[in-house]
Amino acid sequence: MNRNELVSIIRKKKSVLCVGLDTDLEKIPKHLLSEPDPALAFNKAIIDATKDFTVCYKINTAFYEAQGIDGWRTMQQTLEYIPKDIFTIADAKRGDIGNTSEQYAKTFFHTYPFDSVTVAPYMGKDSVSPFLQFENKWAIVLGLTSNAGSADFELQQCGDELLYEKVLKTVSTWGTPENLMFVIGATRKEQLKHVREMLPEHFFLIPGVGAQGGDVPTVCENTLNKDGGILINVSRAVIYASTGEDFAEAAHKAAKAYQQQMAEYL
């Protein structure tokens, strides 16, 4: 999916909602455990319930890889079930030497045809570049994350700037706003505006809203640009809005509520 198509969806739905399908078999409603593939049944119900309000689904591959070959099959079938006019993210956080990254890119752009994949930039340009060679595909590079451990490296001084600032500035020269996004955590309220000023055109994938404490108004007021320019990921607050048999209805209500908040700014 190219940038114009993504922007068109955002404008049509008046939404920048990304629903994270971090499907944990220990957290899904118990009545689904009798299904042949409980995770797939859960995912399909969530997608059906939220697709009208969502511009993006993010599949955290770890929750599927942990289940072995069955999990990979579930991930593939989930990806195939997502409507084609909705942006998809493989949240895989890959990044290795060039020839290895080439194989990771083929995995998530060809074998499993996601629109984008999250990438770790620690090993430098040759580990990221292979993901930028595919037409209408995106690399979403870790920039400023919301976990406590981000202080160990990202927020450390690196010359006359912080390390995350150096990463954002440097990586932004490797691609363009047409194929390169950045992960910017919503709980870093004091930095959201600063990062947008640094990178006025790029899309940001913004986790941390909902269960982690971030909120839609703060994110929108500090990071929206003329194209929307953000994808606000919400996982637990939508998919686990209820753990009962009404889970899909609860997810529908939660997704709609987030979309309505976003619409005020779009």
Please give the positions annotated as active site: 93
DSSP the chain: --HHHHHHHHHHHT--EEEE----TTTS-GGGGGSSSHHHHHHHHHHHHHTTT-SEEEEETHHHHTTTHHHHHHHHHHHHHS-TTSEEEEEEEE--SHHHHHHHHHIIIIIS--SEEEE--TT-HHHHGGGGSSTT-EEEEEEE--STTHHHHTTSEETTEEHHHHHHHHHTTTS-TTTEEEEE-TT-HHHHHHHHHH-SSSEEEE--BSTTSB-HHHHHHHH-BTTB-EEEEE-HHHHTS-SSTTHHHHHHHHHHHHHHHHHTT-
